[in-house]
Every structure is written in structure tokens, then in C-alpha cells.
């Protein structure tokens, strides 16, 4: 080669070296969003293009952590540990590819991340929380109710239905049962139970794992019997759900139907803060579930899918988390549901105002039949039960009110000296759904209490009963003139309640009032029933309200399946099979259709496949068996979705009434509604869509700044 040719060749090599890389490395945080990591570690995947000439070099804040990454199925998987609180930089470099970086923001395992400042006061209960062997987690280690992480094992005996503690980690007992997972693996029925604390709650994750022969689980070597499916379970209730860690889960991951799921190979996780009776704050529950799933992934690996299950309070918690944190759950199976705790409280507030009018303000003004018609419920018992649900908005202890009313509901774990009393302890903690979620609603600087979204300005109570001729014009006018509202202590006042505009907007944005337009827009939502209209509380209209919310925000609700019935064992089993097939295959099976379960004496339960409609008339088999009754604000003209927290107003118009109103009647109406009456054809004031993955601090994007 001549010198000239050599110079040309060297120039060509230099030119190639100066050209940009031919591929790009992709970095993905798998266990959490990169900007919302907790506990100092995160599972990361690095995908290098074919142009990569070598194994990538990975550095965390300048420290080489390449050895933490394992080659798996064409990518590199690594558990990145030792993250500093705050921002961290992960850099990846490789020959033949463009260098990449990923910013990771890490938060303490004690939280918070997006739920705002920690609730104060807050009572620790690690010393009463029972582990499988009967011991407790012991005294809290710090002010954040932290406890040591423990791993215990339980097993199913061949002749039993309950799991028993496993005391020998070297050899299994002779009476251990075996189980066959949905993956076809036949293994000893031995369950690993991990218990610890995160976000100031007590968590557990459980999965089949044999300590005598299986290696310790890692995200690179998951438990061999795990079917790569994950279930989040939630507790029930709401009243008393404030200012405490919780000494029980609310739903035992090692009991009932969960034993069946464990035997099939599912992993299950939960937290005491996912039990509304401990913490009636679904947004905090969402943050807790986010952190809980992150930890499961960092312990066992990435699941094929995650589903959420719950009844009553656990049902609405599943709904709200799925909607406000899209992608956290891939489907939800619920029963005895409500849209959210706020909907219960607000419907109860309307009913309580009515009950007060009927019993105190105008005790002789209405017959029982008229009271029922104005309330919308199936009967007086159901109506009064609804009214009593407003007790979760009332912080005043020992209030004398309607029959069965129980104000200021507290758990015994909260010392009396911490509790609010307007006369004795006016600076105490307030036991209401508003104050328990004050980070979202905001704080009134005048009172220091949470702002309230309840609003009944412009609401014409009993409008449908008037138009139907069930009550007279005089009764209608008297009722609306005198019904009044509530002050910040839930005392009756003569004027209507004015909801705080900022609190209302943030209730929608956060999903504290369920919208249906976030994560619920596309995932399977299987409502397995739980009918109780005559007895009260779990009213059927709540189920239809959920469907209406999904349909209104998405134009359809074909991903919502509703079964009505008493939630029999056969019903629950069939629902699970249809639901999990739907989630696993991403195709809606033929069994996932609307219907109801007809139960007649001496006959097997019969499933009637039929589109479910909201009606109290026997116009279909399902409506004849399970009629659906109304609620107070719908009788006032409001929509079935019950999600117009504050209505927009319009002028009084005589044409809106089916009965004749005199000039003096109209003048009286204008006097009691000077700003006009509700225009239910319009969206509510400040009614906006949920803001997915929103924050109320400390993560960026704090929505409390939008007052």
C-alpha cells in the first residue's frame, strides 16, 4: 500500500470513528416510576441495540454498579440499591451505542411520595399486630411506626383448611399438603409470609415458597411456584379510619378465598393502610399500593399482570386506585361496592337534612309514604340508614340526632386526649372523611379545619315527588325553605351549605370522588354484586353510579360487567373464573356478561344473562328479583352518577314543573333560591377529569397549589 493509499485509509477510519453511534440504549425502571422510587432501591432493565459491542457499563452517581446487572432474555436486569434520598443519576455506556442517563428520584420507605404531609397525630400499632406464629412486630422503632422486617412460613396440613406455622426451615412436616398451581406445578403447600412497614403502614406479601429446597427469591430468580400473577387485596369499612397505623389488615391474605389463590400460585400483597377502617383515604391507599407493588417486584420480579380485589370499602379502594394510578392494576374484581367514601358521606348528608326536617323542623308535614318518596330509598329503614352514614362527616362527640346516629366515630387505640371536642379540645384531631384527607381538600385558614366539598345550593329537594303529585306544592316549598345545611362541625344551620370551590376541584383531580376517566377507561371492571337495597347501606344505585361515571367520561362502559345477587359461593367462583380469563387473555370471555343470580328456595341458583338496568319496576327478571331504588339528590333532579358535587345554576322557570305554580309560589321560590336552581343538564362547577398520578407533595406537581 502506498503512503497515499495509507493516508486515505486512515482518514476513512477517523471519519467512521467520528460518526455518531448507530444505536441507542433504552433504560427502564420496572418496579416504580423513575420519579417516584421508594426505599432506596429500584429494579431497572437495560435494553441494548444489536450495534452494542460490549456489555454496558452502569454507574449510579458515578459509582460502577455494572455487576448488579444480569443478562436475561436479550436485556440486562439489575436491582439498583443504595439510592440517596432525592435525585440520583444512573448512566449507561457501551461501545457502538449512544450513552444514556436516567434520573431516579428516591423517597424514604416511610413516605410520603404523593399524598402530602404525614397525618398528625398518628398512633403506631406494631406492638399489637400478630404475625403467623402468634408473636407481634414489637414496639415501633421510630416515630414513623417502623418495625423490623420478618419472614415466616406457614403450611397447609393435608387434613386441614387453615394454614399452620412452619417452625422447621430445614425439613417439612409429614402432614404437609401439596397443591397444583395454574402453571401445572405440583409443590408443597408452603407459603412465605413477609411482614414489615412502609409508608407508616404494616405490609405483607405472601407466595408459595419452600424454604427447604427453594433458593431465596430475587427478581432474577423468582419463587419457582409463583405463577407470575399478583393480587392486591383491600379491607372494608371507613368510619374510625383515621390517625392510626392499624393493628389488623382488614382482609387476611392467609384466609378464605385467598388460600385458594395462594394454592394456585398467585402472590398477594396488602397493607394496613389499604384497610379503610384503619385509613379512610383512598389516595393514601393508592400511594401505599404503589409502594407495595414496587417492593414485591424488587423481591420476586415483574408479574405478568396485577389485579385488585375488595368488598365494600375494599371495592371502592380498588376502583379509586385503579382510576387515579393507571397501570398499577390490570383489572379489578369487586362486590358490595360504592364509587368512593365521599359519595356515601354526601348522599348521607342529603338524607340527614331530610330526616332532620321530617323529625324536628316539620314533624307532621309528611306521611311515611311521602318521606320515602322524597328520600328516594326503598323504605324508611333504608332512608334512615343512609342518613346515618353522614356520621363520618361529624366531628362532634355524643351528638343527639336521628335514631341510630353515631357521631365522631373513633377507634379505641386513639387516646381521648387527642380527640377533637369543640368545647373541651378544640385543637384536637377531627374524625371526618374531610379532615382525614385534608392534604387534598386543603385547610381553611380561618378554622384550621379541612375545607368541605358538600354543597346543596340550588338543590330542589323532592322535585320528582312534586312532579309526580306525591307531595303538594306547599310541602315542596316548606321543605326547601327550611331544610338548610351544615357548618364545619356538621351542626344544622338555616342557610344552605356552600362547598369550597378548591376542595371540589381537587376531589375530582385526585379521584377522591371517582371519575372513571382514568385507569378505569380500559381495564376489566367486574362487579360481582352484593345486593342490600331493603336493608340499607350497600344500595344498588351505587353500582349503577359507577357505570354511569365510566360511561360519561369515556363514551362507553363495555369494560364494566355487573352481576346482581347475594354473592353466593358459586357466584363468586364463576365471577373469578370469568374475570381472570379476561385479564389473562386480554379478551372478554363469553361468561363476562351482565346478569343476575336468581335464588329460590329448594332450587339451585340460576344465572340470568341480561343487560342490567336501573329500575325499581319488575320490567325484567333481574329487576323483579333485585329492584334498584333511588337516592335523595336524584329525586331532586340530579344525575344517576351522583358526581355533581356543586351544580351550576339557572333561573326559576315555571315550565320545569309538572304542577301548576302560582305567582306567589314562584316568588317564594325565587326568594329561597336567589341565585337560581340546579341546572342538571350541565357539568358540575369545577368538575374536571382525574389527573393521573397526581401529587399533593412532596413529589412535584403539587395540586394543592391550585386553590
Half-sphere exposure of residue 293: CA atoms within 13 angstroms, side-chain side: 29
- Listed residue (387, 206, 204) closest to 292, CA to CA: 204
Residue whose C-alpha cell is 383489572:
331
Kindly state the cell numbers that stand for 476.
315542596
Report how far Cα 172 is from the mean position of its chain's Cα atoms: 39
Give dist(CA 126, CA 371) in Å, integer.
48
83's CB contacts (< 8 A; 6+ apart) are 37, 40, 41, 42, 60, 104, 106
Give dist(CA 164, CA 174) in Å, integer.
13
Give dist(CA 20, CA 533) in Å, integer.
69
Report the DSSP beta bridge partners of residue 46. 27, 76
Grouped pLDDT means (10 residues each) for the chain, 707 residues: 39 35 82 98 92 84 96 91 98 85 98 98 98 97 98 95 94 97 98 98 98 97 98 96 97 96 98 98 98 98 98 98 98 97 98 97 96 97 96 97 96 98 97 98 96 98 98 98 98 98 98 98 95 84 98 98 88 96 98 95 90 97 96 98 98 96 98 98 98 96 65
What are the boundaries of each domain within the chain?
A: 21-107, 109-283+294-303, 342-508
Cα–Cα–Cα angle for 204, 176, 306, nearest 5°? Answer: 35
Report the DSSP beta bridge partners of residue 38. 107
What pLDDT is recorded for position 705? Answer: 54
Across the beta sheet with 100-107, the strand order is: 37-38, 100-107, 86-93, 57-60, 63-64
What pLDDT is recorded for position 4? Answer: 42
The dihedral over CA atoms of 9, 12, 14, 17, expressed in degrees to the nearest 10, equals -130
Residue whose C-alpha cell is 334498584:
628
What is the helix, strand, coil percentage profile of the chain, to 5? 30, 20, 50
Class in CATH terms, 21-107: mainly beta
| Burial tier of 618 (Cβ tally within 10 Å: 0-12, 13-18, 19+) | exposed
What pLDDT is recorded for position 566? Answer: 83
For residue 64, give the H/E element and its range.
strand 63-64
| Burial tier of 165 (Cβ tally within 10 Å: 0-12, 13-18, 19+) | middle
What pLDDT is recorded for position 167? Answer: 94
- Listed residue (604, 583, 599, 581) closest to 591, CA to CA: 581
For residue 45, give the H/E element and its range.
strand 42-47
Amino acid at each position: 500500500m502506498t503512503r497515499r493509499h495509507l493516508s486515505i485509509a486512515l482518514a476513512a477510519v477517523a471519519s467512521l470513528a467520528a460518526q455518531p453511534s448507530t444505536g441507542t440504549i433504552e433504560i427502564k425502571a420496572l418496579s416504580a416510576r423513575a420519579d417516584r422510587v421508594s426505599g432506596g432501591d429500584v429494579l431497572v432493565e437495560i435494553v441494548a441495540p444489536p450495534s452494542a459491542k460490549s456489555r454496558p457499563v452502569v454507574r449510579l452517581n458515578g459509582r460502577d454498579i455494572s455487576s448488579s446487572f444480569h443478562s436475561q432474555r436479550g436485556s440486562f436486569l439489575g436491582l439498583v440499591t443504595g439510592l440517596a434520598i432525592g435525585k440520583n443519576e444512573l448512566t449507561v455506556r457501551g461501545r457502538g451505542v449512544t450513552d444514556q442517563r436516567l434520573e431516579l428520584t428516591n423517597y424514604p420507605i416511610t413516605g410520603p411520595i404523593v399524598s402530602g404531609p404525614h397525618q398528625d397525630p398518628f398512633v403506631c400499632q406494631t406492638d399489637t399486630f400478630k404475625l403467623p406464629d402468634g408473636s407481634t412486630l414489637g414496639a415501633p422503632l421510630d416515630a414513623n411506626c417502623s418495625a423490623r422486617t420478618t419472614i415466616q412460613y406457614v403450611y397447609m396440613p393435608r387434613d386441614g383448611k387453615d394454614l399452620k406455622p412452619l417452625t422447621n426451615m430445614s425439613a417439612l412436616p409429614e402432614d404437609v399438603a401439596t397443591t397444583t398451581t395454574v402453571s401445572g406445578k405440583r409443590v408443597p403447600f408452603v407459603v412465605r409470609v413477609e411482614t414489615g412497614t412502609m409508608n407508616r403502614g404494616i405490609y405483607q406479601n405472601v407466595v408459595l415458597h419452600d424454604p427447604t429446597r427453594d433458593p431465596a427469591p430475587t427478581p432474577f430468580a423468582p419463587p419457582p411456584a409463583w405463577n407470575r400473577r399478583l393480587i392486591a387485596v383491600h379491607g372494608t369499612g371507613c368510619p374510625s379510619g383515621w390517625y392510626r397505623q392499624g393493628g389488623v389488615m382488614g382482609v387476611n391474605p392467609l384466609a378464605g378465598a385467598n388460600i385458594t389463590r395462594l394454592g394456585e400460585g398467585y402472590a398477594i400483597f396488602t397493607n394496613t393502610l389499604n384497610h379503610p377502617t384503619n385509613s379512610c383515604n383512598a389516595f393514601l391507599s393508592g400511594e401505599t399500593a404503589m409502594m407495595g407493588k414496587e417492593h414485591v417486584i424488587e423481591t420476586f420480579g415483574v408479574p405478568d399482570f396485577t389485579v385488585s380485589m375488595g368488598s365494600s370499602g375494599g371495592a371502592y379502594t380498588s376502583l379509586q386506585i385503579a382510576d387515579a394510578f393507571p397501570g398499577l392494576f390490570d383489572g379489578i374484581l369487586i362486590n358490595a361496592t360504592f364509587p368512593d367514601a365521599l359519595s356515601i358521606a354526601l348522599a348521607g348528608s342529603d338524607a340527614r337534612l331530610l330526616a332532620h326536617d321530617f323529625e324536628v323542623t316539620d314533624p307532621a308535614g309528611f306521611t311515611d309514604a311521602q318521606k320515602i318518596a322524597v328520600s328516594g330509598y326503598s323504605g324508611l329503614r333504608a332512608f334512615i340508614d343512609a342518613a346515618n352514614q353522614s356520621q363520618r362527616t361529624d366531628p362532634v362527640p355524643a351528638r343527639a340526632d336521628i335514631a341510630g346516629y353515631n357521631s365522631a366515630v373513633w377507634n379505641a387505640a386513639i387516646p381521648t386526649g387527642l380527640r377533637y371536642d369543640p368545647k373541651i379540645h378544640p385543637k384536637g384531631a377531627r374524625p371526618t372523611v374531610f379532615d382525614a384527607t385534608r392534604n387534598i381538600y386543603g385547610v381553611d385558614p380561618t378554622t384550621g379545619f379541612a375545607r368541605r366539598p358538600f354543597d346543596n345550593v340550588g338543590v330542589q329537594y323532592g322535585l320528582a315527588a312534586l312532579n309526580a303529585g306525591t307531595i303538594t306544592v306547599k310541602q315542596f316549598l316548606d321543605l326547601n325553605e327550611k331544610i338548610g345545611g351544615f357548618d364545619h362541625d356538621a351542626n344544622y344551620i338555616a342557610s344552605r351549605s356552600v362547598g369550597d370551590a378548591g376542595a371540589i376541584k381537587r376531589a375530582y383531580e385526585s379521584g377522591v370522588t371517582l371519575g372513571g376517566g382514568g385507569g378505569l377507561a380500559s381495564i376489566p371492571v367486574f362487579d360481582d354484586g352484593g345486593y342490600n337495597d331493603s336493608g340499607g347501606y350497600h344500595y344498588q344505585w351505587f353500582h349503577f353510579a359507577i357505570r354511569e361515571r365510566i360511561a360519561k367520561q369515556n363514551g362507553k362502559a363495555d369494560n364494566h360487567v355487573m352481576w346482581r345477587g347475594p354473592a353466593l359461593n358459586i357466584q363468586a367462583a364463576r365471577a373469578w373464573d370469568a374475570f381472570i380469563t379476561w385479564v389473562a387473555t386480554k379478551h372478554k370471555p363469553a361468561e363476562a356478561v351482565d346478569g343476575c343470580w336468581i335464588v329460590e328456595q329448594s332450587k339451585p341458583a340460576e344465572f340470568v344473562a341480561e343487560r342490567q338496568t336501573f329500575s325499581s319496576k319488575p320490567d325484567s327478571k333481574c329487576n323483579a328479583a333485585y329492584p334498584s331504588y333511588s337516592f335523595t339528590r336524584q329525586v331532586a333532579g340530579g344525575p344517576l352518577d351522583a358526581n355533581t358535587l356543586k351544580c351550576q345554576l339557572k333561573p326559576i322557570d315555571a315550565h320545569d314543573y309538572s304542577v301548576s305554580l302560582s305567582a306567589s309560589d314562584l316568588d317564594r321560590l325565587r326568594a329561597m333560591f336567589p341565585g337560581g336552581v340546579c341546572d342538571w343538564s350541565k357539568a358540575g362547577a369545577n368538575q374536571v377529569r382525574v389527573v393521573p398520578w397526581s401529587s399533593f407533595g412532596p413529589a412535584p406537581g403539587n395540586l394543592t397549589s391550585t386553590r
